[in-house]
């Protein structure tokens, strides 16, 4: 998936990495980060394949699935469950594609920082475009999707909500 980089002052060890940089910012809403958990965060793709196209990323800078420890894996998968549930409620898709593109040959545009795609699908979708296509096929108001998913997350029992401009906190409790 194509990612449009933004000019933002970077800090940390991986200042070159957009997926490390985004969660260190102080504007989750502006950065399309809709939820945060202990080990992972949920980002709306700003070049969505479909409305509701979300990505779940570890804070840890790694391109290798193998390097995530058990706590991170559990958090990752429980967050995926929660995000799928919220998208089902908010957008009523007919199905989903969920998965990782790992490595350039696997279609990843950012190869050194894992990101799980959660893509809602509708029966009316154009079904034959590869998910790695660089062109967004849907004219999508990401801000509107952000609002709808945020509302769903706020209502979910396994979340806490703080400031309106901060991402919803996923507690899994």
CA–CA distances in Å: residue 111 to residues 32, 65, 84: 20, 12, 24
Q: Which of 8, 29, 61, 121 binds Zn ion (CB under 5 A)?
A: 61
Q: Which of 1, 19, 75, 101 binds Zn ion (CB under 5 A)?
A: 19
Catalytic residue among 39, 53, 113, 115: 115
Between CA 127 and CA 124 the distance in angstroms is 8
Q: Which stretch binds Zn ion (CB under 5 A): 24-32, 59-67, 78-86, 148-156?
A: 59-67
Compare residues 32 and 145 and give the one whose CB is closer to Zn ion: 32
Query: Is 115 annotated as catalytic?
Result: yes
Interaction of residue 20 with Zn ion, rule CB under 5 A: yes
Compare residues 18 and 87 and give the one whose CB is closer to Zn ion: 18
CA 102 to chain centre: 15
Tokens 């769903």 appear where?
Answer: 152
Interaction of residue 113 with Zn ion, rule CB under 5 A: yes
Nearest alpha carbon to residue 144 among 50, 9, 38, 51: 51
Compare residues 63 and 107 and give the one whose CB is closer to Zn ion: 63
Between CA 76 and CA 131 the distance in angstroms is 21
Residues 6+ apart with CB under 8 A from 92: none
Interaction of residue 76 with Zn ion, rule CB under 5 A: no
| Binding-site ranges for Zn ion (CB under 5 A) | 14, 17, 19-20, 61, 113
């Amino acid at each position: 998936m194509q990612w449009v980089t933004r000019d933002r002052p970077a800090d940390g060890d991986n200042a070159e990495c957009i997926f490390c940089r985004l969660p260190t910012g102080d504007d989750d809403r502006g950065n399309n980060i809709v939820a945060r958990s202990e080990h992972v965060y949920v980002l709306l793709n700003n070049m969505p394949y479909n409305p509701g196209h979300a990505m779940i990323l570890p804070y840890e800078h790694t391109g290798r699935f193998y390097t995530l420890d058990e706590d991170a894996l559990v958090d990752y998968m429980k967050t995926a469950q929660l995000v799928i549930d919220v998208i089902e409620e908010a957008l009523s898709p007919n199905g989903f594609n969920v998965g990782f593109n790992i490595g350039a040959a696997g279609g990843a545009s950012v190869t050194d920082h894992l990101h799980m795609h959660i893509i809602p699908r509708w029966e009316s979708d154009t079904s034959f475009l590869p998910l790695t296509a660089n062109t967004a096929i849907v004219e999508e108001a990401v801000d509107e999707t952000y609002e709808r998913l945020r509302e769903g997350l706020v209502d979910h029992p396994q979340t806490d909500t703080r400031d309106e401009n901060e991402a919803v906190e996923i507690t899994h409790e």
